[in-house]
Amino acid sequence: MSGRATIGIGYERQGYNMSILESIGGTIDLISSLGRVKNPALAFRFSVEVDGISDGVFSECSGLSITRNVEKFFVGGINHYQEQLPGQIEYQNITLKQGVFPAASGMWKWFSKNMDKSSFNVERKNITVILYGFSTTPYVPYTIERWEVEDAFPVKWDISGFKSDSNEIVIETLEIAHRGFNLSITPKRSEIDITQVSRIPEGTGFSLS
C-alpha cells in the first residue's frame, strides 16, 4: 500500500481562539440555515495527499487553476468588434511547500528519481487536495470540495535561502505539472460519516482518507 502525505493547518497554529471560533461558527451556521448568508471556507482548513509520499507535511498548496484559451480574429470589413472562439484548456502547475526535515524528503526523492528519465517515462502520481469546513454540533471537519489531480510529475524543486541572522523555517518547494483535475463538491453535511472524522485531533493535520 502506498503512503499518502497529508496536512491540514490547525487553529492553534494560526493563533485563533477556539471558543470564539466556535461561537462565530455557530452563529454563521444558524444564519446560513435561515438562508441569509453562506458560510465561506477558510484557507487553512485543507489537506494534501500524494500517492507514495508518506512524510509530506505541506504548509501551502497553490496553482489549482484552469484556463480556457481564446482564439481572436477580425472579420474583413467589420471594425467595431472581433470574433472570439474557445480554444484549448490549459492547467497551471501546482506548487507544494513544506518545512525541511533532517531526513531526505519524499518530495526530493520523487523529483530526483525522474531527473535521469525521458519525458515519456517519468513517475507520475495522483494528488488529492481537500478543502474542509467544520461542523459545530459535533465539532468535526467535513469535506467542502475535493480536487483529484491526475498523472502529476515534478518539474521544479527549490529550497529557500539560508541567512546567518535568521530563525525562519527552511522551506522546500515542489512545482508539479499534471494532466488535469476533477472537482467534486459535497452536497450535504448530513452525508458525512461522523465515525470517520471524529477521530481526527484538533490542531494537527487531518484527512478523511
Using the predicted structure, report yes or no on whether residue 126 has a pLDDT greater than 50.
Answer: yes
pTM: 0.66
Using the predicted structure, report yes or no on whether residue 140 has a pLDDT greater than 50.
Answer: yes
3-state SS string over 73-114? ECCCCCCCCCEEEEEEEEECCEEEEEECCCCCCHHHHHHHHC
pLDDT bracket for residue 54 (50, 70, 90): low
Compute the average pLDDT of residues 138-156: 87
Compute the average pLDDT of residues 143-167: 91
Question: How many residues appear in the chain?
Answer: 209
Q: Measured between alpha carbons, how far is 154 from 33 in angstroms, rounded to an integer?
A: 43
Using the predicted structure, report yes or no on whether residue 8 has a pLDDT greater than 90.
Answer: no
Compute the average pLDDT of residues 145-156: 93
Domain boundaries, the chain: 12-64+87-197
Per-residue pLDDT tens over the stretch 18-28 = 444 444 444 44
What is the predicted pLDDT for the residue at 196? Answer: 45
Using the predicted structure, report yes or no on whether residue 174 has a pLDDT greater than 60.
Answer: yes
What is the predicted pLDDT for the residue at 198? Answer: 38
Question: Domain 12-64+87-197 belongs to what architecture?
Answer: Roll (2.30)
Using the predicted structure, report yes or no on whether residue 94 has a pLDDT greater than 90.
Answer: yes
In DSSP notation, 158-204 reads EE----TT--PPPEEEEEEE-SEEEEEE---GGGS-HHHHTTSPTTS
Using the predicted structure, report yes or no on whether residue 35 has a pLDDT greater than 50.
Answer: no
Average pLDDT, the chain: 74
Selection from 18-27, 65-74, 108-117 with the highest mean pLDDT: 65-74
